[in-house]
Amino acid sequence: MFRFAHPEYLYALYIIPVIIVLYWLFRKNRTKLLERFSERKLHNILFPSFSGLKNTFKFSLVIISLFFLIITAANPQVGTKMEEVKQTGIDVFILLDVSNSMRAEDIKPNRLEKAKYQIANLINKLRGDRIGLIIFAGDAYVQIPLTTDYSAANLFLSAVDFNSVPSQGTAIATAISLALKSFDKSAPTEKVIIIITDGEDHEGDINTVIAEANNAGVKIFTIGLGATGGSPIPIYNARGEQTGFKKDNEGNIVLTKLDEKTLKQIASSANGEYYRGSNYEDYLDKIYEELSELEKAEFGVKKVTDYEDRFYYFLAPAIILLLFEFFLSEQKTRWFNNIISRLGIKSR
């Protein structure tokens, strides 16, 4: 197998045709200026040692060297062998509330964006553990199934917003039930659920799903976001300008309050802990530190290709060509003219 370790560097290859065009324009302009200065017949008399063909040859050496150096920077690699690597870790499902109450800005920039930021930080710290994401409001959906592909997880996380779930509400029980069904029951891994929500107006039979979690040996941690005293829900227009706050049918500003009682009950009943979210502390990180102490179990085997660098195949000729170009003069030389004549190329 073949690949580039840094394929993004290959975009620099677009520079090469630009340089060639600029060089061609420079030579064309130079020829015009010389023709204005004197007739073409006199050029060999006025500039007897100048070799236009040799100048072009030196430029070609630089271009080829640049091509090799860009390939070197991209670091071509060859897969030499396939290895099977055991995958060990724990399984974690994060349940993220995306209801409109998460628009409140008592947690900056708002409750949902703060939660997404902390989840992204957690994903970047994971090493081998499988993570999944379930989003919920009036219903619950699997946004990211259990995976160790952290790049893909971050990509799907970035797409989460308040429109990800069409129906409004706070279906915590439904989200927990969906997580329990989505765990890989055949894997002997420790299984954990982390709920990030304000807990307001929760729906469903919480006690029943907590009992199911206990029977399955799944721990549930909860993180509450928001103020217990309540916070208004801002409304923005299409240009991102705030136009006011959400109001009820009677025209009163709606205040969304953190329901700590429910979240504490869920955590204590499911052998977990409750954390009060804030602008300053990352409780998701604290939970993961605690989870890292859990015993890691094997949940699969993946094939990994062992790659070896081959950049030096391009670096060596690039250096040789640059050295050759450096010591090659632009003046006419007998040996160069002999080579050109044998190739049947007219020297100028």
Looking at residue 94, what is its pLDDT? 96
Average pLDDT, the chain: 84
Who has greater pLDDT, 334 or 288? Answer: 288
Three-state helix/strand/coil letters over 171-204: CHHHHHHHHHHHCCCCCCCCEEEEEEECCCCECC
User: Is 90 exceeded by the pLDDT of residue 218?
Assistant: yes
Confidence of residue 338 (pLDDT cuts 50, 70, 90): low
What is the pLDDT, as a whole number, of residue 159? Answer: 93
Whether residue 331 contacts residue 36, with contact meaning beta carbons closer than 8 Å, is answered with no
Q: Is the pLDDT of residue 96 over 80?
A: yes
Q: What are the residues facing 331 on neighbouring strands?
A: 50
The SS3 assignment for 129 reads coil
Burial category of 345 from C-beta neighbours within 10 Å (exposed 0-12, middle 13-18, buried 19 and up): exposed
Q: Is the pLDDT of residue 348 over 80?
A: no
Two tokens at 167?
A: 């129906």
Most confident among 110-119, 125-134, 197-206 (mean pLDDT): 110-119
Tell me, what's the pLDDT at 319?
Answer: 94
Q: How far from each other are the two terminal CA atoms of the chain, in whole angstroms? A: 47
Residues 6 or more apart whose Cβ sits within 8 Å of residue 207: 269
Strands 242-245, 234-236: pairing kind = antiparallel
Q: Distance (Å, rounded) from C-alpha 99 to C-alpha 15?
A: 48
Residues 189 and 91: their CA atoms lie apart, in Å, by: 6
The pLDDT, as a whole number, for residue 117 is 92
* 162 CB-near residues (< 8 Å, 6+ apart): 98, 99, 100, 102, 103, 112
Answer positive or negative: Cα dihedral of 252, 254, 255, 259: positive
CA-to-CA distance for 187 and 175, rounded, in angstroms?
A: 21
H or E element, residue 84:
strand 76-89
The pLDDT score that the predictor gives to residue 77 is 87
The structural domains of the chain, ordered by start, are 2-75+311-342 (no CATH), 97-302 (3.40.50.410)
Q: What is the pLDDT of residues 128-162, one digit of tens each?
A: 888 999 999 999 999 999 998 899 999 999 999 99
pLDDT in tens, 8-62: 999 999 999 999 999 889 888 877 766 666 665 555 555 555 566 777 888 899 9
Show the CA angle centred on residue 120, arms to residues 116 and 125, nearest 5°. Answer: 150
Closest CA to 193 of 166, 215, 168, 213: 213
How many angstroms separate the Cα of 329 from the Cα of each of 19, 24, 38, 336? 21, 20, 25, 11
Cα 53 from Cα 56, distance rounded (Å): 5
pTM equals 0.63
Indicate the helix (H) or strand (E) that contains 58. Answer: helix 52-74
